[in-house]
A and B are shown apart, each in its own frame.
Chain A
């Protein structure tokens, strides 16, 4: 019994850690996107991860950023297990898997093809987009609660922390925006406004409408990717069949990686 509960606890910890890794382009957890097809713990505690993206053509640098995130998440596990991470059905799967196993960087793996690619700058761009998308969701939530623009742009952290929304996007993004804010401005003062631009400027009440329109454009792009990726991921390896007279999509690859087994609790 004791062994079972230990492994159950470890499995929860494993999925929790994996859930902290985001698709950088979408700012959504890889576990929610269904990219982790399988996370298996063997009897000696070591971990095997099978990873699959929505298409064979997904940008390899994004794939690498996510796998690197997975690697870091696994390094933080309390029982420090040995692990193996494998990317499936991707145009550069072989190169990435071999490189990951050898602990190489993206630049090392793709020395010839990556040219001057700076993944650091790419990470920074994605951090900015995530900041804006999270911020927009909360701002729209506050506006829906009939706060005036002046009240919103003047809001400080203590008031932010007690604000409540109905379940939905604003509720989901509220703690995530808080985390992004503190990461972006670690030295912020307690009476600084909660809503600042990425560059660190306050937002005048009269400019909030225009600012929101700008944030909307960022989200529209990210949502496009998100919706597309979800759709493609759901239907990858599926074909049309007719079941009881109804058109339906069914799996057509029999030896595909089994569906992920996330813990229920």
Chain B
């Protein structure tokens, strides 16, 4: 719960968190090292100075760190933990569902654990989706289209194998498909984070919600265009939000575009923990106003009502969280972590 300076309680769903192991012991090769190094550079590049972590803690933090940063020091009521396997880079995977389910076990009321699958595994992927549903009753999955798999250096949502997987998700009621569409990196020739495949997938699977993490940045215009056409496409603020600290005017331009095109119902807060911690992000977001000239040009405002939707109510809708009931339940089960 986030308490505003005026004393109002705001319900917060953190749509994008991780519990990873990027430690040297778990790294399989140079790619594993470079992957966590790149995350660390995001962390050091965009965090306020007083929020910086040491490298070793960043590589592998404890379950207690996570509870504290999200729920005790942090304002999250509910956190969605995403799974990202990266088994080509890490011996035990980077951020598997087993690891996430383990951390969620102690406080199941606080967590939504999402799965992940790789359509390139063919039949095995379909079996795995069944397994995810039966074992963890997942409500959502995280797709990472730039993940390596043998000789393949990426895939598209429109690949025939991917469509088979989404058909199954639809059938099993796994409704929330989070898709990482972020800064341009690998693979080689094609841009694996190009957003146009979202357009087709969202049209063909109307029963699924497509949450595009990082809003497709740096392809915000393409993303906005698609999200405007498709009623079931949403934008996740992870990575865009930290700019609120280092380049607040720039963040104003991004959020104004999103409000103008998508509207306030389709934008979701996400800290991308542990790249960033939610407390400072939510505090700054609550205090933030879009610069006047930008707001006037786009005819949008970031009102308190809209902030409340972005911080929690929108995600609650997608994950069928009864906000009032959840607030009561959480209030009656105070949070604790193991004594240090």
**When the two chains form the complex, which single residue of B35, B55, B187, B218 contacts A222, counting CB atoms closer than 8 Å?**
B218
Cβ of B243 within 8 Å of any chain A Cβ, yes or no, is yes
Which of B44, B217, B253 has the most A CB atoms < 10 Å from its CB? B44
Cβ of B50 within 8 Å of any chain A Cβ, yes or no, is yes
B217 x A221 contact (CB < 8 A): yes
B185 x A213 contact (CB < 8 A): no
Cβ of B244 within 8 Å of any chain A Cβ, yes or no, is no
Residues of chain B lying within 8 A (CB to CB) of residue A227:
243, 246-247, 250
How many Å lie between the Cα of A116 and that of B189 in the bound state?
Answer: 8
Cβ of B153 within 8 Å of any chain A Cβ, yes or no, is yes
Helix, strand, loop or mixed for chain B's interface?
helix
- The 8 A CB mask of A222-246 against B (1 = contact, 0 = none) is 1111011001101110111000001
Residues of chain A lying within 8 A (CB to CB) of residue B257:
216-217, 220
A64 to B, closest residue via Cβ: B188
Q: Which of B200-208, B219-227, B323-331 lies at the interface with chain A?
A: B219-227
Residues of chain B lying within 8 A (CB to CB) of residue A55:
34, 38, 41, 185
How many Å lie between the Cα of A110 and that of B49 in the bound state?
Answer: 41
B41 x A232 contact (CB < 8 A): yes
**When the two chains form the complex, which single residue of A57, A62, A239, A247 contacts B34, counting CB atoms closer than 8 Å?**
A57
How many Å lie between the Cα of A248 and that of B49 in the bound state?
Answer: 7
A249 x B42 contact (CB < 8 A): no
A/B pair count, beta carbons within 8 Å:
116
A150 to chain B, nearest CB (A): 19
Interface residues on B, range: 35 or more
Cβ of A54 within 8 Å of any chain B Cβ, yes or no, is yes
Residues of chain B lying within 8 A (CB to CB) of residue A239:
44, 54-55
Take A59-B191, A61-B188 as given contacts and tell me if A225 and B183 are in contact as well, using a CB distance cutoff of 8 Å. Answer: yes
Residues of chain A lying within 8 A (CB to CB) of residue B49:
246-248
Residues of chain A lying within 8 A (CB to CB) of residue B221:
217-218, 220-221
A162 to chain B, nearest CB (A): 27
* Chain B, 211-269, CB within 8 A of any chain A CB: 217-221, 224, 240, 243, 246-247, 250, 253-254, 257
How many Å lie between the Cα of A220 and that of B217 in the bound state?
Answer: 9
B42 to chain A, nearest CB (A): 7
Residues of chain B lying within 8 A (CB to CB) of residue A209:
297
A216 to B, closest residue via Cβ: B253
A92 to B, closest residue via Cβ: B188
Some 20 contacts from A to B, beta carbons below 8 A apart, are A55-B41, A57-B35, A58-B185, A62-B184, A92-B188, A113-B153, A113-B188, A114-B189, A117-B190, A217-B220, A220-B253, A221-B218, A222-B218, A224-B240, A225-B184, A231-B42, A232-B38, A232-B45, A238-B44, A239-B55
Residues of chain A whose beta carbon lies under 8 Å from any beta carbon of chain B: 25, 54-62, 91-92, 110, 113-117, 209, 213, 216-218, 220-225, 227-228, 231-232, 234-236, 238-240, 246-249, 252
